[in-house]
A and B are shown apart, each in its own frame.
Chain A
Amino acid sequence: MSAELKARILRAAAAEASPTRAAVRRRNTFISMVAAFSGIGAFVIFAVLMSESHLLRLGGEVAPQQRLERPVWLVIATVGGALGVAATAVWLALWRGRSMLGRSRRPLLYGGVLIPVSLLAWKVGCSIAFGDAMMAWPERPGERCLSLSLIVAVGPLVSFLAIRRNAPVRPALNGAVMGLAAGACAWVAVDLWCPVAYVPHLLLGHVLPLFVLACAGALLGYALLSVRTR
């Protein structure tokens, strides 16, 4: 091993500033707060613009002259369950366990399958228990929920990528799980706003954005988290 090589590498490292753990913690806290505000802000703006009367729409007009009121307990149950799944998804996407290389392929793949399935199953299960919410709403095909999900999820997805910064192995898969986690966070917001539990609406407005975000996350993960030569 040449001493010249060691001196060159030490010089190069000294010339390039790198944050310590304390600085990274501060930076990540700041990024998380910005992401949370961006998600909440996007939700509030969207909900104010898109709701005719009030922000937290517990019900709505199914068809002309036919209204449906969503029970508060149904809202609490669906949002609570979605919140639990979203928290698990964020933990899966950002927590690397005891290894610098992050999670192995299997938990990431299982998470990728289970996150959308459990969100949909919980929503449908709760709605079946309360009955009326499962009815068809022809005036709400789901495009507004699709837009809301994507708008709310952008901030969290960017923040997850910024917090993780690099993934020497499986960057695309890690990015996809981050996309799903961001989508799960957006699901909670959409669940607060949308009273519809009609399955075709859920598939278009609530589940499709999860897949769009997973694909976007995979592409961004591959582009931004991969280790590359300079």
Chain B
Amino acid sequence: MERYARGDEAAFAELYDAIAPRLLGFLRKATRDTFAAEDLMQQTLLHMHRARGSFIPGAAVRPWAFAIARRLVADSARRRRVEQRLFSDAPADDDRITYEPTAATALADDLVHARRLESRLQERIDALPELQRTAYRLLQQEGLSLKKAAEVLGTSVTAVKLKAHRAYVALRAVLRETEEA
């Protein structure tokens, strides 16, 4: 990013290679829609491209990218809600693509159980409040530190800990229910 900010145009491809896979993963989980995730990733990277001149030397790139992506996800969800309200005849956003784990060697029962569990966990994650969900994803799925996740969310480290803890409690409850069933 530093080279790109100084004007090295070729550095953008390297920047893409460095952050795009995780960013796309984050956006896919947030939107559960491959096309929307790709579109939002393009917008995130173009936003970084436009702001390259104001890049601070030595600043962390990943929290910045995730913060932009998170805002874009929230804004696109808000737009979708407004559009659905305006054009109530429009079909609901139910053509989401979900990614299923491949377990070629697993037994059929285990596979069914794993899919059911994954589906229930995913439903629970989707039902979490936005801040709890994003805190959980940034810490557990993207591997960000508490400090960086707090920067992305625009809150304190303590608040991130609390939100992630609430998400863990909710997910643990799903696991417990599944075990009991």
Contacts of B61 in A (CB 8 A): 100
Q: A residues 181-230 with Cβ under 8 Å of B?
A: 226-230
CB proximity of B120 to chain A, nearest CB, Å: 29
The answer to whether A21 and B53 touch (CB under 8 A), given A6-B20, A16-B46, A168-B68, is yes
A13 CA / B9 CA spacing, docked (Å)? 10
Is B40 among interface residues, defined by CB-CB distance under 8 A? yes
Is B54 among interface residues, defined by CB-CB distance under 8 A? yes
The answer to whether A14 and B152 touch (CB under 8 A), given A20-B52, A21-B53, A100-B59, is no
Chain A at the B interface: SS class: loop
A18 CA / B6 CA spacing, docked (Å)? 11
A96 CA / B71 CA spacing, docked (Å)? 19
A101 touches B42 (CB 8 A): no
A9 touches B68 (CB 8 A): no
B154 touches A100 (CB 8 A): no
Is B75 among interface residues, defined by CB-CB distance under 8 A? yes
CB proximity of A23 to chain B, nearest CB, Å: 6
Is B50 among interface residues, defined by CB-CB distance under 8 A? yes
Tell which of A1, A20, A98 touches B56, judged by Cβ atoms closer than 8 Å.
Answer: A98
A24 touches B54 (CB 8 A): yes
Is A106 among interface residues, defined by CB-CB distance under 8 A? yes
A21 touches B67 (CB 8 A): no
A6 CA / B42 CA spacing, docked (Å)? 9
A105 touches B155 (CB 8 A): yes
CB proximity of A59 to chain B, nearest CB, Å: 46
A217 CA / B87 CA spacing, docked (Å)? 34
- Interface size of A as a range: 35 or more
Contacts of B64 in A (CB 8 A): 99-101, 168
A23 touches B24 (CB 8 A): no
A169 touches B151 (CB 8 A): yes
A97 CA / B56 CA spacing, docked (Å)? 8
Number of B residues whose C-beta is below 8 Å from A?
47
CB proximity of A19 to chain B, nearest CB, Å: 4
Contacts of A96 in B (CB 8 A): 56
Q: B residues 1-53 with Cβ under 8 Å of A?
A: 5-7, 9, 12-13, 16, 20-21, 24, 38, 40-43, 45-47, 49-53
A1 touches B21 (CB 8 A): yes
The answer to whether A18 and B59 touch (CB under 8 A), given A9-B46, A168-B67, A168-B68, is no
CB proximity of B143 to chain A, nearest CB, Å: 18
Contacts of B75 in A (CB 8 A): 226-229
Contacts of B13 in A (CB 8 A): 6, 10
CB proximity of B93 to chain A, nearest CB, Å: 15
The answer to whether A99 and B59 touch (CB under 8 A), given A1-B21, A227-B75, is yes
Contacts of B56 in A (CB 8 A): 96-100
Is A123 among interface residues, defined by CB-CB distance under 8 A? no
Tell which of B9, B51, B152 touches A166, judged by Cβ atoms closer than 8 Å.
Answer: B51
Contacts of A14 in B (CB 8 A): 9
A9 touches B41 (CB 8 A): yes
CB proximity of A229 to chain B, nearest CB, Å: 5
Which B residues are within 8 Å of any A CB, using their own CB?
Answer: 5-7, 9, 12-13, 16, 20-21, 24, 38, 40-43, 45-47, 49-56, 58-61, 63-64, 67-68, 70-72, 75-76, 79, 150-156
Name 21 interchain pairs, CB-CB below 8 A, sorted by A: A1-B20, A8-B42, A9-B20, A9-B45, A21-B54, A22-B7, A22-B53, A23-B53, A98-B56, A99-B59, A99-B60, A99-B151, A100-B55, A100-B61, A106-B156, A166-B51, A169-B151, A169-B152, A227-B67, A228-B75, A230-B43
